Amino acid sequence: MNASSTYREELHTPIAHQAQVVVCGGGTAGFVAALAAARAGARTLLLERNSFVGGTMINGAGPLHSFFNLFKAVPGTSKRQLVRGLPQEIIDRLAASGFCRGHLEMDKGGDYDSVITIIDWEGFKDTAFTMLEEAGVDLLLNVQVAGVMKEGDRVTGVIIEGKSGRQAIQAQVVVDATGDGDVAALAGADYVKKHGTSSVGFPFGMARVDMRRLASYLQEQGLVTQLVRGPKDLPGGDDVIRLGFDLTRDPRFSAFMAQSGMWGPLGFSYHSDHFTFINTANKRQVDATDTRALSQALVELRHQVMALSRLLIQHIPGFEQAYVCWTPNNLGVRYTRAITCEKDLSLEEIVGGARFPDEVFLYGFHDCAPRIQIRDAGCYGFPYRALLPKKVEGLLVAGRLLTSDWDAHMSTRNTVSCMAQGEAAGTAAALCAASGTSPRALDPQVLRARLRAQGVYLGE
Ligand SMILES: Cc1cc2nc3c(=O)[nH]c(=O)nc-3n(C[C@H](O)[C@H](O)[C@H](O)COP(=O)(O)OP(=O)(O)OC[C@H]3O[C@@H](n4cnc5c(N)ncnc54)[C@H](O)[C@@H]3O)c2cc1C
């Protein structure tokens, strides 16, 4: 049998669950979408392929960019918290349990992000389950969405595969928060493949790092690019929270970094002797919707991580006693399918601070700052139409699976934007389910009124 042969199967899939709102993917956007939908009164089911929720946000992304505007880049502008609502409530819950140190201002690098927010990932996993339980969200873990049910253009449910085998789930409204747009693609929505413009990453953590020694060595060498200090967990522990440094300028690393395509490193230190590298091991142009490409990248990047850690231990003061103690569950994927939606935000709209009558939150961060930043440390509105895939009914999308232009995606894909998108999509889905309306027919002003009542900031 060659690779293009097919095997015809006949399937009779049991209908195992029914829900008003089914959220596919319990990551950065999907976890918030499920909470929002359930709190807005919908019987909500959340489907996640991992054994936890949080997705990329707790598997390599950190800090969370950004609840605030870029006030440190433009002297004279004031600090504004733009993203509030449910994302802020999650931060408050984490902080109350000691799993977040709040929003910390950058000491160096404030023109990239003026305020950063770092959370404890294990603490998040437990808190997230508690919040889902409290909201009454039904949760199925270790299940992969593998198909959709449709009547005409309308999605009526999804097919999952897990330890119970293949099961069908009926839904009034489905939210695709899979990051890759798996559901929208299966449902026949149009999309563009964008992996050619981006890279996948494999973040990792090292323990027994002497952070004080490391930071002072790097400062002496003039290698520090970003620095944030703040309170830590242990009395007498170090206080370096965020640290970015440039090893490409160190001759002992430059050849290795160039050959492997590594950046930075850039990372953070939530606990006193631990450093998490978020942006270091990377591989360009991997199609993370291709199982073989995904597998090869995982093997290659794991080798890279161990090779870099050996170099750090050998050459950089502070790493003498260190070892690799954490690697992520999945490859860190930045960009795969961009689903074609009713509105596709452009870079001009983002940097120009465009506002829209149907905007569902405001956002003020761009990942290429200070090179690309939103004018006058301002913000832009995120329109509801950007969550609505063309051609398919009964479906909303949220997260890094939208925005087809790489430069614009470098803003919309960030964690805090994805969380805010999740709140809007989940709330919209619940409103639709309650009124029997399709997402495309939902009055955005009804949604905006509801979001405002939930504490979402939509401007004065
Ligand atoms: C290496 C790396 C570093 C980054 N650093 C930062 C940073 O420092 N700050 C920042 O703000 N942003 C950062 N980002 C970007 C940001 O983390 C992501 O864009 C964002 O978290 C994506 O959120 P999401 O909800 O779209 O996807 P995810 O958080 O990835 O969620 C998707 C979820 O869907 C699940 N899923 C996927 N397919 C299926 C399926 N078929 N069935 C069931 N479940 C499925 C996944 O398991 C996952 O939980 C980084 C990204 C990467 C890759």
Q: Is the CB of 179 under 6 A from ligand 1?
A: yes
E strand or H helix at 434: helix 415-435
Q: Is the CB of 331 under 6 A from ligand 1?
A: no
Beta strands in 25-140 (DSSP E): 44-47, 100-105, 115-119, 138-140
Paired sense of beta strands 191-193 and 165-176, if any: unpaired
pLDDT at 265: 81
pLDDT at 280: 74
**Residue owning tokens 């929270």:** 241
User: How far is the C-alpha of 375 from the C-alpha of 371, rounded, in Å?
Assistant: 12
Point out the ligand 1 atom lying closest to the alpha carbon of residue 178. 34
Share of the chain above pLDDT 70, in %: 98
pLDDT at 111: 92
User: How far is the C-alpha of 30 from the C-alpha of 401, rounded, in Å?
Assistant: 12
Q: Is the CB of 201 under 6 A from ligand 1?
A: yes
Q: Structure pTM? A: 0.96
Give the tokens for residue 54: 């949080």
User: How far is the C-alpha of 179 from the C-alpha of 290, rounded, in Å?
Assistant: 14
Burial class (CB in 10 A: 0-12, 13-18, 19+), 219: middle
CA of 418 to the centre of ligand 1 (A): 9
E strand or H helix at 298: helix 291-315
pLDDT at 258: 83
Write out pLDDT tens, residues 128-151: 999 999 999 999 999 999 999 999
Q: Which of 49, 56, 119, 417 has the most ligand 1 atoms within 8 A of CB, as the residue to mutate?
A: 56
Q: Is the CB of 113 under 6 A from ligand 1?
A: no
User: How far is the C-alpha of 275 from the C-alpha of 285, rounded, in Å?
Assistant: 27
Q: Is the CB of 140 under 6 A from ligand 1?
A: no
Paired sense of beta strands 15-24 and 44-47, if any: parallel
Amino acid found at 102 = G
Q: How many CB atoms lie within 10 A of CB 388?
A: 24
Share of the chain above pLDDT 90, in %: 78
Please state, in angstroms and as integers, the Cα–Cα distance from residue 163 to each residue in 144, 147, 168, 179, 331, following that order. 10, 16, 14, 23, 23
Closest CA to 444 of 368, 387, 371: 387
CA of 299 to the centre of ligand 1 (A): 20
459 φ, ψ (degrees, to nearest 5): 95, 170
CA of 279 to the centre of ligand 1 (A): 14
Phi-psi group of 346: left, alpha or beta (phi > 0 → left; psi -120 to 50 → alpha; rest → beta): beta
pLDDT category of residue 3 using cuts at 50, 70 and 90: low
**Residue owning tokens 């799993």:** 99
Q: What is the mean pLDDT of the chain?
A: 93
Q: Where is pLDDT greater, at 255 or 336? A: 336
pLDDT at 261: 76
Q: Where is pLDDT greater, at 26 or 5? A: 26
CB 363 within 8 A of CB 418: no
CB 339 within 8 A of CB 397: yes
User: How far is the C-alpha of 351 from the C-alpha of 187, rounded, in Å?
Assistant: 33
Q: How many CB atoms lie within 10 A of CB 81?
A: 15
CA of 334 to the centre of ligand 1 (A): 7
pLDDT at 2: 60
Write out pLDDT tens, residues 375-408: 999 999 999 999 999 999 999 999 999 999 999 9
Residue 1: pLDDT above 70?
no
CA of 29 to the centre of ligand 1 (A): 8
Write out pLDDT tens, residues 52-101: 999 999 998 888 999 999 999 999 999 999 999 999 999 999 999 989 98
Max avg pLDDT among 34-38, 220-224, 302-306: 34-38
Write out pLDDT tens, residues 145-194: 999 999 999 999 999 999 999 999 999 999 999 999 999 999 999 999 99
pLDDT at 226: 83
pLDDT at 242: 84
Q: Once rounded to an integer, what is the mean pLDDT over residues 100-120? A: 89
pLDDT category of residue 238 using cuts at 50, 70 and 90: low
User: How far is the C-alpha of 265 from the C-alpha of 97, rounded, in Å?
Assistant: 29
Point out the ligand 1 atom lying closest to the alpha carbon of residue 145. 42
CA of 50 to the centre of ligand 1 (A): 12
* Structural domains of the chain in order of their starting residue, each with its CATH number: 15-101+120-196+336-453 (3.50.50.60), 199-326 (no CATH)
Query: Which residues partner with 161 through β-bridges?
Result: 144, 166
- DSSP structural state of residue 259: H
User: How far is the C-alpha of 410 from the C-alpha of 368, rounded, in Å?
Assistant: 7
Q: Which residues contact 361 (CB under 8 A, 6 or more apart)?
A: 82, 83, 85, 381, 382, 420, 421, 423, 424, 451, 456, 457, 458
CA of 131 to the centre of ligand 1 (A): 20
User: How far is the C-alpha of 94 from the C-alpha of 73, rounded, in Å?
Assistant: 28
**Residue owning tokens 């305020």:** 115
pLDDT at 236: 55
Coil, helix or strand for 165?
A: strand
